[in-house]
Structure 1
Amino acid sequence: MRVAKIGMRTIKTVIAVLLTLGISHILKLKSPLLASIAAIMTMESSISESFATGINRMYGTILGGVVALIMSYILPINFFFIGIGLIIIITICNIFKWEKAVRMAMIVFLSIALNYEGQARFYYAVFRTLDTLIGVVIGTAINYFIRPPNGEEKIKNIINNAYLEIKDVLEMLIWNKEIDKLEKLKSEITNIGEGYKIFIKDLKFHIGRSNNADSYHKLFNSFEKIHNHLSVICSIKESPIINCNNRGIIENYFNRKIPDMEYDEMDDLDLIYNYHLEQILSELAIIDSMI
């Protein structure tokens, strides 16, 4: 049985947890579990996401601690108390658009609500909140300083996959007179857009080269244009004639001859087909020159 390779993110997560547990022991934290959970939840696939997650976890930690503390002075601890507290937390997170802070806020709230000790509830809430914040800081720091995720490498791989997908679609179109559905290509293009956004955010943390940003944006636009032109070609049910110019470019590109077709004169459908094919080849040439 083939064993999957252990990735860097896994290694960093383990380091973050062990370091969190070590610091918890040194500082004699009462809840190393909460700190460890926070460290795990902060380990993301990009630095910008890790920082954003860390900030959201801090919001959630503070919110969960404050709500639990205030409600513990107002209501007795029971199922009704817990239900009302969770509704309040979710509502506040929705108002401030802290969707990614909801889970941490609920975890901290439940930890405090189910475990506080009578008159010591204030200190319990404060320490549980601090425990979680320590885990957030450690997880974020480990992700940043130890082999930070390379978002640029990821976007390059996505671009290469999309490029190969376009070549496959074109080859099927020209030589087999058929075209597969474009969902896979659309998915790859969407991934490029998302990868580009993450890459731009990572630049703020000096991850990646800023001079490549414009290139990735141009590539994304070229892929989108190709998808749009292919969508039009997909709607053409017949097998139009390929003009001499497009034929020559395609044959050179694939190093493969297109079978000859007999025809008297091109009709409107042929002209529309060749226009969109020409645009695809033009954008493909741009992508070729950039990658």
Structure 2
Amino acid sequence: MNFPRIGMRNIKTSTSVFLCLLLFELFNRENALMACVAAVICMQNTIVDSFRKGTERIIGTIIGGIAGALVLFIISTFGRENILIFIIPIGIIILIEICVSFGLKNSVVICCVVYLGLLTSREHEGGYILYTINRILDTSVGIVIALLVNKYMNIPTDDIKYKLKISKEPDKDDAVKDILNENNNDETNMKDI
């Protein structure tokens, strides 16, 4: 029976989620959902891609947070929470158009996730402004964790390649080549995840 191989991006993503959960537990902070979602969305094949995605996600988080806070301000000022069912979809249309207009297509998903997270939650402990700031902070924590994991959690391929060049024993060469092939397959397969 052949078990599917778990790729490095998969391991990095699950490690990022674990670290988000652990950090929230250590700081006795509730609701790690936004951090975990951001970590999953932000994890990419390389640190450069993750950094670019992370930057785009933070911008999207801020836009979605500001939009959500604005809607919550309007709703709390006029006391018309029953119209949220109509305002939320209109807001999604507007947010997508804003992101696309500013060339932030990759920010659309997290922008809408933060916006929806703010507006579909019925309880805003400490008021909607503090709630919005906390959700932006939570999302940013997930992004930073994903960036750090992607940067520092690597298979040392340079060491393996060096050993391949200096190895004189055929068995060791084959073993090293197998490891290199597995690593290259992981990198190829990561693009599909």
1:128 to 127, 135, 141: 135
Structure 2: tracts of 5 or more residues without a match: 158-187, 189-193
Give, in whole Å, the separation in 2 of the partners of 1:148 and 1:53. Answer: 22
Q: Which secondary structure does the structure 2 equivalent of 1:16 belong to? A: helix
Counterpart in the other structure of 2:181: none
C-alpha displacement at 1:27, in angstroms?
Answer: 2.4
Letter in 1 for 2:96: I
C-alpha displacement at 1:116, in angstroms?
Answer: 4.7
Matched, 1:91 2:97: yes
Give, in whole Å, the separation in 2 of the partners of 1:149 and 1:131. Answer: 31
C-alpha displacement at 1:29, in angstroms?
Answer: 2.7
Structure 1: tracts of 5 or more residues without a match: 151-194, 196-291
Counterpart in the other structure of 1:31: 31
Give, in whole Å, the separation in 2 of the partners of 1:10 and 1:87. Answer: 32
Q: Which secondary structure does the structure 2 equivalent of 1:142 belong to? A: helix
C-alpha displacement at 1:148, in angstroms?
Answer: 7.3
Give, in whole Å, the separation in 1 of the partners of 2:156 and 2:100. Answer: 30
Counterpart in the other structure of 2:123: 117
Counterpart in the other structure of 2:179: none
User: What's the TM-score, normalizing by structure 2?
Assistant: 0.72
C-alpha displacement at 1:62, in angstroms?
Answer: 0.8
Larger Rg: 1
Counterpart in the other structure of 2:51: 51
Give, in whole Å, the separation in 1 of the partners of 2:33 and 2:152. Answer: 23
Letter in 2 for 1:66: I
More contact order relative to length (CA 8 Å, sep ≥ 6): 2
- The CA deviation string for residues 34-84 of structure 1, in whole angstroms up to 9 with x for no partner, is 101111111101221111111111011111111000111124442211012
Counterpart in the other structure of 2:148: 141
Q: Alignment identity in percent? A: 34
The RMSD of aligned alpha carbons is 2.1
Give, in whole Å, the separation in 1 of the partners of 2:155 and 2:143. Answer: 16
Give, in whole Å, the separation in 2 of the partners of 1:29 and 1:130. Answer: 12
Letter in 2 for 1:38: A
Matched, 1:6 2:12: no
Question: Cα–Cα, structure 1 residues 70 and 4, in superposed 2: closer, same or farther, change >3 Å?
Answer: same
Counterpart in the other structure of 2:86: 80
Query: Once structures 1 and 2 are overlaid, which stretch shifts more, 9-18 or 99-108?
Result: 9-18
In the alignment of these two chains, the number of paired residues is: 151
User: What's the TM-score, normalizing by structure 1?
Assistant: 0.49
